[in-house]
Structure 1
Amino acid sequence: MTADSDRHAMKMAKKKAARDKIMATKTDEKGLIIVNTGKGKGKSSAAFGMIFRCIAHDMKCAVVQFIKGGMSTGERDLILGKFSDTCSFHTMGEGFTWETQDRDRDVEMAQAAWEKAKELIRDDSHKMVLLDEINIALRYDYIDVNEVVKFLEEEKPHMTHVVLTGRNAKEELIEAADLVTEMELVKHPFRAGIKAQIGVEF
């Protein structure tokens, strides 16, 4: 080995020892409250990545979509077509509020989605429940954020993970969460006149 290689090996050995020491202290397990928010793309995509990990490990899971309507998406079609025995999928919304233009109906649908979400989360056979775009319903006060936080803190089974997506997550939810990721918008093709495309957005 060269002197540079020796130095690199010693440096990496020290890093590994330090890392192993840190990892040895991480022994607890719990179901996490996970929030994906921010203006950047990828909030739901990242959440579905975790859902597919659960499916791959044969862990029962569920999805509730709060806003997105009946439009076909790759993840929904794949789950319903191939993995419905492991993951239940519930599309409860009728589209974004600017499309429905009916607040009362939006509130009614969001409340119904929240009731379904609570039912799924209470069932401790579910190892993960994804509440897709719930942050939008919370932002418009279709659902009370304090009710959501109280439920997650008091009724969520200890080992169940709950993932909540959508931009503009409320501070109360961020405070209650164990893991929060904010997707930052740097550049988006929509601004250059490029529409949403199959395989990327849906």
Structure 2
Amino acid sequence: MDETAERHKLKMQKIKAARDRILETKTEEKGLIVVHTGPGKGKSSSGFGMVMRAIAWGIPCAVVQFIKGGRESGEANFLRDRFADECRFFISGEGFTWETQDRDRDIAMARKGWETAKEQILDPEIGFVLLDEINIALRYDYLDIDEVVDFLLTQKPAMTHVVLTGRNAKPELIEAADLVTEMTLVKHPFRDGVKAQKGIEY
């Protein structure tokens, strides 16, 4: 082994030893509250990737999709057609608020979605729940942020994971969450006149 390779090996051994010491202190298991927010693309995509991961590990899932219901989506088709036994899928929206133009109806749909979400989170058969675009409903005050946070902190079963997506997550939700990721927008083809592409954005 040459000198460069030997130095690399010794460096990696030290890093591994340090990482192993850190991992020894991480012993707690819990159901996480996860928030995906920010102006960049990938919030829902990441959430649905986590659904696939949970299904692969035999964890029963549920999805409650807020706001987006006015348009057919690949994720809804895929999960309903191929994984209906592993993942329940609920749509509680009729499109973005500028499309519906009916605040009272939007609020009613969001409330219906939240009631469904609570049922799924409390169901002992479900271990992972994705609340897709709920942050939009919270942003427009279709749902009460204090009610949502209180439920997640006091009634969510200890080992149930809940992922909440959508831009502009409220500070109260960020504070309550265990894991928060903010997607940053660097470039988006929409700015260059490219419409949403099937298989990429829906």
Instruction: Provide the residue aligned with 1:186 in structure 2.
Output: 186
Please give the secondary structure, in 2, of the residue aligned with 1:95. coil
TM-score by length of 2: 0.99
* Deviation larger for 55-64 or 172-181: 55-64
Structure 2 unaligned regions, length at least 5 = none
Paired with 1:74 and 1:95, the residues of 2 have a C-alpha distance of: 16
| Partner SS for 2:14 | helix
For 1:79-98, list aligned pairs within 5 A.
79-98=79-98
- 1:159 partner SS: coil
Aligned CA-pair RMSD: 0.6
CA-CA distance at 1:69 after TM superposition:
1.4
The separation in 1 between residues aligned to 2:124 and 2:160, in whole angstroms, is 7
Residue pairs, 1:9-20, within 5 angstroms: 9-20=9-20
Alignment of 1:1-202 (within 5 A): 1-202=1-202
CA distance in 2 between counterparts of 1:58 and 1:74 reads 22
More deviation in 63-72 or 176-185? 63-72
Structure 1 residue 175, shift from structure 2 partner: 0.2
Query: How does the TM-score come out when normalised to structure 1?
Result: 0.99
Q: For this pair of structures, how many residues does the alignment match?
A: 202
CA contact 1:70–1:91 (8 Å) conserved in 2: no
Q: In structure 2, what residue type is equivalent to 1:116?
A: T
Deviation sequence 1:39-62 (CA, Å, 0-9, x none): 000000000000011111121010
Determine what percentage of the aligned residue pairs are the same residue. 66
Q: Distance in 1 between matches of 2:75 and 2:20?
A: 37
SS in 1 for 2:19: helix
Give ranges in structure 1 of 5+ residues lacking alignment. none
**SS class of match (2:69):** coil
